[in-house]
Amino acid sequence: MPYIEWDNSLSVGVEVIDEQHMRIVDYINEIHDTLHAPMTVSDREERVMQVVNSAIDYTESHFDFEEDMLEKVNYPYLKAHTRVHQLFVRRIHDYKTRLENGEDIARELMDTLMHWLLNHIRSEDKNYAKWMSGTDERSLP
Ligand SMILES: [Fe+2]
């Protein structure tokens, strides 16, 4: 059984984006697996590295996609949103560096991805979904 599952509270109401966000759920489950399933230390390190590399590729392409989409709809908070994305990418790169230096970052990476899913996706991404559907009642900056 997976550690966490996608549910509708995570949906931003844009299907293609939801599908991309589901990858984060997969990464969390993979990392969780490396922490709990029996395996050798080197297998574990290898699998964690695979997740880190996939997460880097994924976040960079997913964020580009999201930012392009938000630019097209003139999302007024795009700049702040992009800044949050950049910090996250930097953070994942830091994990990679630490992992390469022999540090065990699996638990921390899992917590970070979890936090991202429950905070960024469930609130900040939902804000743009409201904007896109015209139900954002906040005034423009
Ligand atoms: Fe986002």
Residue 141 covered by a domain: no
Q: Quick one: pLDDT at residue 130?
A: 86
Q: Quick one: pLDDT at residue 34?
A: 94
Ligand 1 mean position, distance from CA 75 (Å): 12
Q: Quick one: pLDDT at residue 136?
A: 67
Long-range contacts of 114-119 (CB under 8 A, 24+ apart): 114/4, 114/28, 116/24, 116/88, 117/4, 117/10, 117/21, 117/24, 117/25, 117/28
pTM of the predicted protein model: 0.88
What angle do helix axes 106-115 and 15-36 make, rounded to 10 degrees? 150
Quote the tokens at residue 106: 């699996």
Quote the tokens at residue 41: 């230390």
pLDDT (tens digit, 9 = 90+) per residue, 84-123? 999 999 999 999 999 999 999 999 999 999 999 988 988 8
Ligand 1 mean position, distance from CA 33 (Å): 26
Residue 4 covered by a domain: no
Q: Domain of 62: which CATH number?
A: 1.20.120.50
Ligand 1 mean position, distance from CA 69 (Å): 11
Ligand 1 mean position, distance from CA 121 (Å): 6
Residue 81 covered by a domain: yes
Instruction: Name the residue with tokens 């702040």.
Output: 80
Residue 9 covered by a domain: no
Distance (Å, whole) CA 68 – CA 103: 35
Residue 139 covered by a domain: no
Ligand 1 mean position, distance from CA 43 (Å): 32
Residue 46 covered by a domain: yes
Ligand 1 mean position, distance from CA 124 (Å): 7
For the chain, how many structural domains are there in total?
Answer: 1
Report for 13-17, 41-45, 81-85: range of highest mean pLDDT: 81-85
Ligand 1 mean position, distance from CA 37 (Å): 31
Residue 125 covered by a domain: yes
pLDDT (tens digit, 9 = 90+) per residue, 53-67? 999 999 999 999 999
Residue 138 covered by a domain: no
Q: Residue 121 belongs to what domain range?
A: 15-133
Ligand 1 mean position, distance from CA 40 (Å): 35
Distance (Å, whole) CA 22 – CA 65: 15
